[in-house]
Amino acid sequence: MDLNLTADEVLTTTRSVRKRLDFDKPVDRATVLECIDIALQAPTGSNTQGWQWMVVADEAKKKAIAELYHKNFTAYAAQPGREYAEGDTRADRQEKVRSSAYYLADNFERAPYMVIPMIEGRLDEGLPTFAQASQWGSILPAVWSFMMALRARGLGSAWTTLHLPDEEKAAEILGIPFDKYTQAGLFPVAYTIGTDFKLAKRLPAAELTHWDTFGEH
C-alpha cells in the first residue's frame, strides 16, 4: 500500500501509534525489509553504518520480550506524572496518552512484528557526551526514517524503550551479542486502523527557539 503522501505530510503525520495498530492484519515480511532498506539511507557518523536490525516474528519470543516490557511499564506507570503549567496543551492529552500506553503494554505481543534497532558497541554509563551523541546520532535518524517509511505504506509503530532495563535478558532471548551491540528501542509493527492521521498539537516553534542567547525568542 502506498499512501502517496508528500514529504511534509509524512513528516507531520507520523505518529506513535498504539490503539490504532491492527494486530489481526498480516504484514508481509518484504514490506518490513523495504522499510529497513529505506532506513539504511539515513546518515551515520563517519559513514560507519554500524547498525543491525532484529525483527521478531516468533510468537514465543514476542511474548517473552513483551513480558519484559510489561514488567518495566508497570513500574514506570506507577510513578507520578509530569506536571504542566495551566494552559499547556500537553496537559490536555495526558489521559489519552496514558490510556494508549496501557493498551500497548497489554497487547504488545499481538503485533505481527517487533523491531529492535541496534548500534555497534556498548553505550554504557560513563561514556563521554561526545561519544554518546555520536553513537545515538548514527542510529536515531535511521529509526525515524523507518517509522516514516512505515507510515507511507499504511503501517504504524511506536517508539518504546521500556524493555531496556532488561536489555541483557532481551539479548539472551534473541541471541544478540550483548557485549557488542546496544539496543536502541522496541518497535511494534502493524498496519494501522485507518490512515487519516492529523498534525499533533505542539507548542509553537517561537516559544522553543532561542536566538544567539538562551531565553532570547
Task: Please indicate, yes or no, if residue 85 is contained in any of the structural domains.
Answer: no
Task: Please indicate, yes or no, if residue 213 is contained in any of the structural domains.
Answer: no
Please tell me the number of Cα atoms within 13 Å of 209 on its side-chain side. Answer: 4
Output the pLDDT for position 87.
Answer: 61
Decide: helix, strand or coil at residue 68.
helix
Task: Please indicate, yes or no, if residue 162 is contained in any of the structural domains.
Answer: yes
Task: Please indicate, yes or no, if residue 103 is contained in any of the structural domains.
Answer: yes
User: What pLDDT, in 10s, does the model give residues 86-104?
Assistant: 666 666 666 787 899 999 9
DSSP string, 162-193: TTGGGHHHHHHHHT--TTTEEE--BEEEEEES
Task: Please indicate, yes or no, if residue 84 is contained in any of the structural domains.
Answer: no
Task: Please indicate, yes or no, if residue 217 is contained in any of the structural domains.
Answer: no
High-pLDDT (> 90) share of the chain, %: 74
Contact status, residue 210 vs residue 216, Cβ threshold 8 Å: yes
Nearest to 62 by CA among 23, 32, 119, 33: 23
Neighbours of 15 (CB within 10 A): 17
In whole angstroms, what is the distance from residue 5 CA to residue 192 CA?
Answer: 15
Q: How confident is the model at residue 1 (pLDDT cuts 50, 70, 90)?
A: confident
Range of the structural domain that residue 58 is part of: 7-77+99-208
Radius of gyration (C-alpha) of the chain in whole angstroms: 18
Output the pLDDT for position 48.
Answer: 83
Phi first, then psi, for residue 55 (nearest 5°) are: -110, 120
Q: How many domains does the chain have?
A: 1
Alpha helices in the chain, H assignment, sequence order: 7-13, 29-39, 59-77, 89-92, 94-107, 129-136, 140-152, 167-174, 205-208
User: What pLDDT, in 10s, does the model give residues 132-172?
Assistant: 888 899 999 999 999 999 999 999 999 999 999 999 999 99
Q: How confident is the model at residue 106 (pLDDT cuts 50, 70, 90)?
A: very high
The CATH number that applies at residue 63 is 3.40.109.10
Residue 116 is placed in which grid cell?
Answer: 529492535
Phi first, then psi, for residue 54 (nearest 5°) are: -100, 120
Task: Please indicate, yes or no, if residue 2 is contained in any of the structural domains.
Answer: no
Task: Please indicate, yes or no, if residue 62 is contained in any of the structural domains.
Answer: yes
